Amino acid sequence: MPVSYKARRRLSLLILLVGLPAYIVVAVTIVNWLERPSLWVELVVYIVLGIVWALPFKFVFKGIGQADPDKPDE
């Protein structure tokens, strides 16, 4: 079932305002559990976690910056 453009916009806003800060807290917590590894290991962990969070939401963010395709032409 396809999700409407308007619903995807609202969902993307919710993900960015609520989900991303929560994910940042989780990422910092994971790095702290590793007992402060070396700078390079920490950098790699943050890069991997920074990419991984967006993969499940790719369908939500795709095309959000474009004009509404559901809107009738004027």
Cα separation, 11 vs 60, in Å, equals 7
Cβ within 8 Å of residue 31, ≥6 positions away = 37, 42, 45, 46
pLDDT digits (tens, 9 = 90+) for 21-66: 998 998 888 888 888 788 898 888 888 888 888 888 888 888 888 8
Supply 18's token pair.
């609520």
Question: 3-class DSSP state for residue 62?
Answer: coil
Whole-prediction pTM value?
0.71
pLDDT of 1 higher than 70: no
pLDDT at position 74 over 80: no
Average the pLDDT over 4-13 and give the result: 88
Closest CA to 63 of 11, 1, 23: 11
Q: How confident is the model at residue 18 (pLDDT cuts 50, 70, 90)?
A: very high
